[in-house]
Structure 1
Amino acid sequence: MTVYDPASTLPDWRSALPWPAADAHKHARGRLGVVSGKATQTGAARLAARAGLRIGAGVVRILCPPDAATVIAGAIEAVMVTPFASDEALAAAARAKDAVVVGPAAGVNDATVANIRALAETGAALVVDADGLTVFQDWPDELFDLLDRDDVLTPHEGEFKRLFPGLLDKGREAAAVGAARRAGAVVVLKGPETLIAAPDGRLSRNDNGTPWLATAGTGDVLAGMIGGLIAQRMDSFDAARAAVWMHAEAARRFGPGLIAEDLPEGLPAVLATLYAQRS
């Protein structure tokens, strides 16, 4: 097991951040898809999509059930929207994407299972969060069989226990490494000290967590940030490490009163600091 030191003082993933070249255009900066829930559950996808856009993805599109399209279209600007009426249509819409976030407010139902199965065939890297994890709690191996090393799972401890029963009894670090190996994907075990584990045994501890993140929707923002970095062709393990650190740093800078909507707007200042430090 390779353990990376905490990132709070000198993040070692900085050199891998995907800064745009002088001749960059939006498609060269990566295409991110975010799958939305139904019309009454679109906020999580909108948070994730805005975070993906803020962190640098060139094109971000929300993929949604038809009944949600008009709700979302009236609440977004630079993010685009594409409705889909079936899992086959979702796969067709996602095939041109570099990464797709799926799970936030998606619904714990058969449609979410079918959507994740379809997305796994597209070649896009998947960031699976929230309902996308819970829906597989009774048959986790089915989810793991759909994943590859570029995909990322982002469970909090409750979701982790449902997907990987008993692993946390070994301690958080051993559990995260074991989960990543079992899933064959990167695992982000969220908490006051978030752990990021890769299926090859790499482990990173993030020590700049802040209690201001304990509010609804912040996990959706994190999923969008990870997806946005992966869409820019950043290695999934490094993308997860970088996103977790920047997510906490933006929250720390904002401080009391933080809500999830504040996090994407705090990213430019964090990114500017990292840009100034590039070598």
Structure 2
Amino acid sequence: LAARAGLRIGAGLATLFCPPSATLVNAAHETAVMVKPFGSPEALGELAESCKCVLIGPAAGVSDATRDNTLTVLDKAGAAVLDADALTVFKDDPKTLFDAIIHPTVLTPHEGEFARVFPGLLDKYSRPEATAIAAARSGAVVLLKGNETLIAAPDGQLVLNRHASPFLATAGSGDVLAGMIAGLIAQGLDAFKAACAGAWTHGEIARRLGPGLISEDLPDALPGLLAEFYARRA
């Protein structure tokens, strides 16, 4: 889902990195998405070094391996998007995560994941204040998902996005959003603008698709919307 979203939003090339045991399954399932296996964090680092942006987290598993792989991506990739399990694995040691953020990085937690990495903030502060503090503390752009999505940058920029749909409450939609953001960063958009543009576009697609949408529908609806954007610019 994430790789397809990255392709559809214009990344040009998307590669799915996976364990060797999953290579044939993924290669048979995907056509436009390339598949490359890795067997260790070091091997992943070699792959990540050539990438403009790497997304890690969806379906990665809550394990020591995901923790090590996430730290490797943060060190080696030009930019990173961290979602789902790549956040949860730092529940007991968020400082290690924050110290590893040295390149442009976007964190895309829902409220449960946010509370694991930034414990207590949502209890003490409003959602906008908590998101802004989280961005300053982590050194990353933080996109807090919800009915009203908040995007905060470490320099204090803060955007509230209400342009969404209740029908986005479906499994996998967050993976698509993370892939869209990674695809935008891969094209040269800075992390904060990519997160804002990704959130708005994700919501616009869902508003157009309406009831009954599933996550697989979202990437395939992007070309029509992007064509409209290009037509307006012309």
Classify the TM-score, shorter chain: over 0.9
Quick check: 1:180 aligned with 2:135?
yes
Aligned residues: 233
1:166 CA drift (Å): 1.4
1:270 corresponds to? 225
Mapped to 1, the partners of 2:13 and 2:166 lie a distance apart of: 32
Task: State which of 76, 94, 111 in structure 1 corresponds to 2:48.
Answer: 94
Partners of 1:186 and 1:237 within 8 A in 2: yes
Q: Which whole-Å deviations, capped at 9, do the CAs of 1:226-262 have from their partners, x for residues lacking one?
A: 0000000101100000000000110110001000000
1:130 corresponds to? 84
Mapped to 1, the partners of 2:69 and 2:8 lie a distance apart of: 26
Q: Which whole-Å deviations, capped at 9, do the CAs of 1:15-41 have from their partners, x for residues lacking one?
A: xxxxxxxxxxxxxxxxxxxxxxxxxxx
Matches within 5 A, 1:57-206: 57-148=11-102, 150-168=104-122, 169-206=124-161
1:148 CA drift (Å): 3.3
Task: State which of 170, 174, 197 in structure 2 corresponds to 1:219.
Answer: 174
Partners of 2:151 and 2:158 within 8 A in 1: yes
Across the aligned residues of Structure 1 and Structure 2, the Cα RMSD in angstroms comes to 1.0
Mapped to 2, the partners of 1:170 and 1:260 lie a distance apart of: 32
- Runs of 4+ aligned structure 1 residues displaced above 4 Å come to none
Q: Which whole-Å deviations, capped at 9, do the CAs of 1:117-170 have from their partners, x for residues lacking one?
A: 111221420100000000101111111111136100000001111111111131
3-state SS of the aligned residue for 2:223? helix
Mapped to 2, the partners of 1:178 and 1:277 lie a distance apart of: 37
Task: State which of 159, 164, 177 in structure 2 corresponds to 1:209.
Answer: 164
Mapped to 2, the partners of 1:171 and 1:247 lie a distance apart of: 24
1:167 partner amino acid: L
2:188 corresponds to? 233
Partners of 1:48 and 1:223 within 8 A in 2: yes
3-state SS of the aligned residue for 1:121? helix
1:166 partner amino acid: G
Q: Which whole-Å deviations, capped at 9, do the CAs of 1:31-71 have from their partners, x for residues lacking one?
A: xxxxxxxxxxxxxxxx0000000000011100000011011
3-state SS of the aligned residue for 2:233? coil
1:55 corresponds to? 9
TM normalised by structure 2 equals 0.97
3-state SS of the aligned residue for 1:136? coil
1:36 corresponds to? none
3-state SS of the aligned residue for 2:151? strand
1:94 CA drift (Å): 1.2
Partners of 2:78 and 2:103 within 8 A in 1: no
TM normalised by structure 1 equals 0.82
Partners of 1:194 and 1:206 within 8 A in 2: yes
Q: Unaligned regions of 5+ residues in structure 2, if any?
A: none
Where is the helix percentage greater, Structure 1 or Structure 2?
A: 2
Q: Which whole-Å deviations, capped at 9, do the CAs of 1:78-106 have from their partners, x for residues lacking one?
A: 11000001000001011100000000010
